[in-house]
Amino acid sequence: MDDRPGLRSVVVDCRDPARLARFWADTLGWAVQAYDDDDLAWLAARGLTPETDPSVGVIPPESFLPTLWFNRVPEPKVGKVRIHMDVNVPDASGIDRLVGLGARVLEPNPGGERWTIMTDPEGNEFCGFPLDAEGGTQE
């Protein structure tokens, strides 16, 4: 076991954890955490289902990457979030794919830059970076 400090997870407060988890899993090519029989029994005992689970995880394909957790909170998002995710997409059509998943474009290529400022289905800001622009390097 590695006992060095590291980033364990990124937690996003939201209104609909299952929906947002599916969006981010599809966006990143990761997987929504599967439910086993014990998980389903725990949820059922509380009158919940995977669709109404108040905390849904998105599992990365590599164990060294952090898990994303989407936790239900009662209050709506207010104002700009001070931290956001940047995601790589293969090319400009990747931005369109994210829109098809439920994202919204806020500002394409701000100030002539190559990324696009977007929001997820609940209004959390993130940036989409087409890798085919400027040699495919991320800034």
What CATH number belongs to 1-74?
A: 3.30.1900
pTM attached to this predicted model: 0.87
pLDDT tens digits, one per residue of 45-64 = 999 999 999 999 999 999 99
pLDDT tens digits, one per residue of 14-48 = 999 999 999 999 999 999 999 999 999 999 999 99
pLDDT tens digits, one per residue of 80-126 = 888 899 999 999 999 999 999 999 999 999 989 989 999 999 999 99
pLDDT tens digits, one per residue of 67-84 = 999 999 999 888 888 889
Residue 134 pLDDT greater than 70, yes or no = no
Which listed CATH number (1.10.3230.20, 3.40.50.2300, 3.10.180.10, 2.60.40.10) goes with 84-139?
Answer: 3.10.180.10
What pLDDT shows up at residue 6?
83
Residue-range domain boundaries for the chain = 1-74, 84-139
Mean pLDDT, the chain, rounded, equals 91
Residue (of 82, 81, 53, 80) closest to 69 by Cα position: 53
